[in-house]
Amino acid sequence: MTQDAAGGPTTQNDEEQAARQAALHDEQDRPEARLAKAVGAAEHALIEFEIAVETFRVEVENFSRLHHQKLGPMYARLDELDARIAEARAARSGDPEDLRKAQEARDLVLPMPGVDELFHDWIDSDGLSPEAAAMLTDQPVQAPKRVRPSDEARKLYRELVRKSHPDLAQDEIERARRDEFIARVNAAYGLGDEAQLRKLAEEWAAGPVPAAPRPSERDELYARLEWLAQRKELLAVVARELEESAIGAMLRMAPDDPDRLLEEIAEQLLAQVAEREAELTALVQ
């Protein structure tokens, strides 16, 4: 037991507690501690923002699906009626401009399939694949060219496999490095690429790339804050695109009762369908 500044007795436990509190206060005053606190707050805010954006995305997706199911047939009926009306006008007038408009209206109802839909994997950036060209010209499909690695390529391959085989690894990190390397060796040998095998042999002889020095705690925290800020910017773009989309705008018009909004739009579409049908009837009589 000792005497404090006021003359009162103090215990060793009191002194230890005071020392711990002082150490804790010093730790909290560290710049890294303040940064860590800021990172924690930013992480929490980002999580909440992500939840809000994802919730709205799901709402937009669900409303879009419902919109298509309920109103899609009405829009399709309107397009069909517009095409028939344009065709009826063109048939009456024979005017080239009316014929062009009729064709455009019909194209909206029956859009031309894209090239990728017609040919699927037959066409790539280089044009028709050899297999597709052979089939279209009634030529026999050529078998893929067989690769015969040279003796030197086989020698390089065996040496590389003996040196870099994953079973020689001492830990999981080394095994992963060897797995990735041997995959590249196998790919080069499969192509009979002797030059690439030589490059891989030089790479293996040079040894693994030295690990980058670990950043300081402060640098890691600053990097984390920067990443969080970038992530928030990306989410803000997604949120803005959702809000500015046609479905998002509709949801904002009736956030509390979107089903009622669909009913109102359906009533308007039914009225338009009735008008178009009456117009078509008048044209074909």
Position 118 scores a pLDDT of: 46
Report the distance separating Cα 177 and Cα 170, nearest Å: 11
pLDDT tens, position by position, 52-94: 899 888 888 888 888 888 888 888 889 999 999 999 999 988 8
| pTM score of the predicted model | 0.51
237-241: average pLDDT: 93
Position 275 scores a pLDDT of: 93
Position 84 scores a pLDDT of: 92
Backbone phi, psi, residue 32, to 5°: -65, -35
pLDDT tens, position by position, 190-210: 888 999 999 999 999 988 877
Position 149 scores a pLDDT of: 81
Flag whether pLDDT at 160 surpasses 60.
yes
| 95: its two tokens | 């005017």
Position 1 scores a pLDDT of: 47
Flag whether pLDDT at 27 surpasses 90.
no
212-223: average pLDDT: 85
Flag whether pLDDT at 7 surpasses 60.
no
User: Which of 41-45, 87-91, 112-116, 136-140 is least confident?
Assistant: 112-116
Q: What is the DSSP string of 114-166?
A: PHHHHHGGGEETTEE-HHHHHHHTTPPPPPPPPP---HHHHHHHHHHHHHH-G
Flag whether pLDDT at 184 surpasses 70.
yes
The residue among 261 and 114 whose pLDDT is bigger is 261
Beta bridge partners of 3: 9
Position 239 scores a pLDDT of: 92
Give exposure, 181-204, as e/b (b: 16+ Cβ within 10 Å).
Answer: bbebbeebbeebbbebbeebbeeb
DSSP annotation of 191 reads: T
Percentage of the chain with pLDDT > 90?
A: 27
User: Which of 76-80, 148-152, 226-230 is least confident?
Assistant: 148-152
Report the distance separating Cα 156 and Cα 151, nearest Å: 9
Position 198 scores a pLDDT of: 93
